[in-house]
């Protein structure tokens, strides 16, 4: 039997004004984009017309404040579940992946909201499961300090267990809604979770019927040892930052192998590294475009971004013209990103100010600055050489950067047979080639 050729999965990672930290200052970018529904509606339409698998929207439950934060467009933006619920009404096919932290939420809330989104969108919801890496979030939820790294992941594993259990509260055909008999649902098709664990006590059931996808797609974004263990057990898509092809290949092999160790089909785990791209008609034009954003980076802004990405360290006392200081392993931030940026600083012998400027666009994600052909070459190499099943695409500015990818890079991928010409399904699972999960709480029986 001939199998269809393998094709890339692509997510459009939207960040208000764009991923470059200084993008909001550029004349082509609306500075108030974070609270403009018209802006996001346009982006969603562009991405859907280009046949992206999904929109991907990150989140933080704390405003960016402190030194340098007042010079970033990172402090006011929509709550993303609310945003994509609205976007579900103006789109038809594109998936809607949203970040929600397990550190400062409750499982019942998350299960209910994402099941509702899956119904509203006709089966296009995805939950990016994260453990909070912004220490300031703790202060908004009755804590004096952030939950440490190991405990965050223990909580996340149990959180996932509860959420997925709640999603299986009802069998697919539980709600018969028979007006003649007066029976609204079949009690034999209901499961009460009654979970009691280390972090949560949740009775259930969920007050939302089982959703169109069975369960929303679960995405995970950690690349530390704890993050990899969690992803291998729970994730269906993994978003990761990898600085080179060889590093991405090693990560890909490791995650696929770990999935197999948990008796999972490795193909049921899609690995989508971030790719920061700047598109030009020529390489020189692309580089000139990128430099127009780099020229807007103020030193204190680069260092403020660096403080956050390294794991919530205060770098204000260190000279900008000296190398990155030795820092202890972060317990409040992303350990994998700390390791990546530390290695980047050493490999390129960067000063603190240079490192801040270096990550102003992609924050450590692999960057390609060039023509559509050059970008497609890189993506094809990673895709065909065992480094990725697809990519989460980061662009410097919005909407222009996304329009460049949609109008120039996507057609090049389509010409090479690497990306779809049109959607063949209606749900996010169908786009990604993921199976609809059976309800684990009910045996399969003939009725």
DSSP assignment string, 29-84: S-TTGGG-HHHHHHHHHHHHHTT-SEEEE---SS---STTGGGSS-S----HHHHH
User: How many CB atoms sit inside 10 A of residue 432's CB?
Assistant: 23
Phi, psi (5° rounding) for residue 274?
-75, 145
Does pLDDT of 65 surpass 60? Answer: yes
Confidence at residue 357, expressed as pLDDT on a 0 to 100 scale? 74
Domains of the chain and CATH, by start: 9-143+214-282+363-432 (3.20.20.30), 298-359 (no CATH)
The band of 443, judged by pLDDT with boundaries at 50, 70 and 90, is low
Which range (110-119, 239-248, 249-258, 298-307) has the least confidence?
Answer: 298-307
Determine contact, residues 19/399, Cβ cutoff 8 Å. no
Confidence at residue 332, expressed as pLDDT on a 0 to 100 scale? 59
How far out from the chain centre does Cα 164 lie?
19
Strand partners for 200: none
Q: Which has more pLDDT, 55 or 350?
A: 55
Does pLDDT of 351 surpass 60? Answer: yes
Q: Which has more pLDDT, 163 or 361?
A: 163
Per-residue pLDDT averaged across 121-125, rounded? Answer: 98
Q: Which has more pLDDT, 165 or 133?
A: 165
Q: Supply 272's token pair.
A: 């989508």
Per-residue pLDDT averaged across 80-104, rounded? Answer: 97
Q: Supply 148's token pair.
A: 């440490």
Does pLDDT of 389 surpass 80? Answer: yes
Q: Which of 256, 272, 255 is nearest to 432 (CA)?
A: 272
Confidence at residue 330, expressed as pLDDT on a 0 to 100 scale? 75
Which range (19-23, 169-173, 219-223, 393-397) has the least confidence?
Answer: 219-223
Per-residue pLDDT averaged across 40-61, rounded? Answer: 96
Q: What is the per-residue pLDDT across 275-333, written as a single tens digit (0 to 9) for each? A: 999 999 999 999 999 999 988 888 777 777 777 777 777 777 777 777 787 888 876 56
* Collapsed DSSP state (helix, strand, coil) of residue 26: coil
Average pLDDT of the residues of the chain: 91
Q: Which has more pLDDT, 63 or 405?
A: 405
Per-residue pLDDT averaged across 237-261, rounded? Answer: 95
The band of 446, judged by pLDDT with boundaries at 50, 70 and 90, is very low
Q: What is the per-residue pLDDT across 154-172, written as a single tens digit (0 to 9) for each? A: 999 999 999 999 999 999 9
The band of 444, judged by pLDDT with boundaries at 50, 70 and 90, is low
Confidence at residue 290, expressed as pLDDT on a 0 to 100 scale? 92
Confidence at residue 324, expressed as pLDDT on a 0 to 100 scale? 81
Confidence at residue 317, expressed as pLDDT on a 0 to 100 scale? 75
The band of 192, judged by pLDDT with boundaries at 50, 70 and 90, is very high
Q: Supply 18's token pair.
A: 């764009």
Q: Which has more pLDDT, 311 or 113?
A: 113
Helix runs in 76-183, H state only: 80-88, 107-121, 149-167
Whole-angstrom distance, CA of residue 147 vs CA of residue 133: 9
Does pLDDT of 49 surpass 90? Answer: yes
Confidence at residue 231, expressed as pLDDT on a 0 to 100 scale? 93
Cα angle 124, 153, 364; round to 5: 70
Per-residue pLDDT averaged across 399-419, rounded? Answer: 98
The band of 73, judged by pLDDT with boundaries at 50, 70 and 90, is confident
Per-residue pLDDT averaged across 350-376, rounded? Answer: 85
Per-residue pLDDT averaged across 334-341, rounded? Answer: 76
Contacts of 17 (CB under 8 A, 6+ apart): 23, 24, 29, 30, 31, 33, 34, 73, 397, 398
Does pLDDT of 340 surpass 80? Answer: no
User: How many CB atoms sit inside 10 A of residue 86's CB?
Assistant: 15
Q: Which has more pLDDT, 441 or 259?
A: 259
Task: Output the pTM of the full model.
Answer: 0.91
């Amino acid at each position: 039997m001939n199998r269809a050729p393998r094709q890339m999965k692509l997510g459009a990672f939207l960040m208000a004004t764009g991923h470059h930290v200084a993008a909001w200052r550029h004349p082509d970018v609306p500075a108030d984009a974070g609270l403009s529904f018209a802006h996001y509606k346009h982006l969603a339409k562009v991405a859907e017309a280009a046949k992206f698998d999904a929109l991907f929207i990150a989140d933080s439950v704390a405003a960016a404040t402190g030194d340098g934060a007042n010079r970033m467009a990172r402090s006011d933006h929509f709550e993303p579940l609310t945003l994509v619920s609205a976007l579900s009404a103006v789109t038809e096919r594109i998936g809607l992946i949203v970040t929600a932290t397990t550190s400062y939420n409750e499982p019942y809330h998350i299960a209910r909201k994402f099941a509702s989104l899956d119904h509203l969108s006709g089966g296009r919801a995805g939950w990016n499961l994260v453990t909070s890496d912004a220490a300031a979030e703790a202060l908004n939820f009755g804590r004096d300090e952030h939950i440490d790294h190991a405990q965050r992941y223990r909580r996340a594993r149990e959180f996932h267990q509860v959420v997925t259990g709640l999603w299986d509260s009802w069998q697919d055909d539980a709600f018969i809604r028979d007006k003649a008999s007066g029976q609204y649902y079949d009690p034999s098709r209901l499961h009460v979770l009654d979970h009691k664990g280390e972090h949560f006590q949740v009775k259930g059931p969920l007050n939302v019927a089982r959703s169109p996808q069975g369960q929303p797609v679960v995405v995970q974004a950690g690349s530390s040892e704890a993050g990899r263990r969690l992803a291998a057990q729970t994730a269906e898509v993994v978003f990761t930052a990898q600085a080179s092809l060889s590093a991405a290949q090693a990560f890909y092999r490791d995650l696929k192998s770990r999935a197999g160790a948990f008796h999972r089909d490795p193909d049921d785990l899609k690995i989508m590294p971030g790719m920061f791209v700047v598109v030009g008609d020529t390489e020189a034009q692309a580089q000139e475009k990128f430099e127009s954003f780099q020229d807007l980076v103020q030193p204190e802004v680069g260092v403020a971004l660096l403080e956050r990405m390294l794991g919530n360290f205060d770098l204000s006392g260190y000279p900008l013209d000296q190398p990155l200081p030795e820092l202890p392993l972060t317990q409040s931030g992303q350990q994998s990103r700390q390791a990546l940026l530390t290695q980047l600083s050493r490999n390129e012998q960067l000063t603190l100010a240079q490192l801040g400027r270096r990550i102003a666009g992609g924050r450590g994600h692999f960057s390609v600055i060039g023509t559509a052909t050059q970008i497609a070459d890189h993506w094809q190499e990673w895709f065909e050489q065992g480094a990725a099943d697809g990519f989460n695409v980061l662009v410097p500015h919005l909407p222009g950067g996304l329009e460049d990818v949609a109008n120039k890079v996507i057609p090049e991928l389509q010409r090479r047979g690497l990306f779809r010409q049109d959607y063949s399904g209606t749900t996010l699972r169908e786009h990604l080639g993921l199976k609809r999960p059976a309800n684990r709480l009910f045996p399969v029986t003939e009725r």
